[in-house]
Amino acid sequence: LNGVFAVNKPVGLSSYDVVDRLKHLVFGMAPRGAKKARNRFKSKNNYKIGHGGTLDPMASGVLVIGMNKGTKVLNDYLNGPKVYVGEGMLGSMTDTYDAEGHLEQTAPYAHVTRETIERVLDQFRGTIQQIPPKYSALKVNGRPMYDYARKGEEIPRELVAREVTIYSLELEEFTTEHAYKQPRPKPTTDEDATATTTTTTTTAAMGEAFILADDDAADKCSDHVASTPAVFRIRVECSGGTYIRSLIYDIGQAVQSTAHMVSLCRVQQGCFKL
């Protein structure tokens, strides 16, 4: 078996999970956890399988897979252009820049309209400088940045902006009718999580609780908790190495608010599309 194909990765699986399952399905290799069976397979068979660009577990969509000789062209897909559809929620930022992280910052959002978003998009089209999120696979001193972040360690050097290209960027939707929930703050310890007093304000539109990290956050947010924060959906064609999480965060900053990514789908990579 040689060649390249794509799978539609579901939410909840990492890119490595998909590759691992394909090893089992295509090559008859035992899945992770069955060490003896895996070792026996490796000793009798020479195979190669990999993917052409990581998708986070919370993302879905096109994941290019190469088998045996097909793995030699995966770098072309990794570095080539891709098309994503991503959604961002205004008014809150997390430590990971997405919905899987913990609340780090809130900001007013009631002033932001569809037209406000449209007006700032042009500054992100073309070749731009983008700072990657600290929760990313980029390596510093041989370690992925997410490893430092998850262990609470300082990254040894300042994050440096990288040049990426946004070939096209369009706003597809702007709405307050959605089921996304606000992120929660990260507790320092189990005791602190129990003892910390949080202020809960119920939003009339969603009937959901907006959890604020502390009294200061409550003061800062008092002017915008009365309405549901809007979600905006963008369609992006970009170069390899672009972080849609960072793009959504930067758009939030550009409209004098903040934002985090709540969904992401890669709809095209190379000749493969949904």
How many DSSP H helices and E strands does the chain contain? 8, 15
* Secondary structure of residue 26 in the 3-state scheme: helix
Annotated active-site residue in 20, 56, 98, 250: 56
Active site residue 56: yes
Nearest-angstrom CA–CA distance, 110 and 4: 47
Name the CA radius of gyration of the chain, rounded.
Answer: 21
Tokens standing for 191? 């005791």
- Quick check: 19 and 51 in contact, CB under 8 A? yes
- Quick check: 226 and 84 in contact, CB under 8 A? no
Q: Is 189 left (phi over 0), alpha (psi -120 to 50) or beta?
A: beta
- Quick check: 185 and 211 in contact, CB under 8 A? yes
Name every residue whose Cβ is closer than 8 Å to that of residue 193 and which is 6 or more positions away in sequence. 187
Q: Which residues pair with 126 in a beta bridge?
A: 166
**How does DSSP classify residue 81?**
-
Backbone angles phi, psi at 215, to 5 degrees: -65, -35
> What positions carry a catalytic annotation?
56
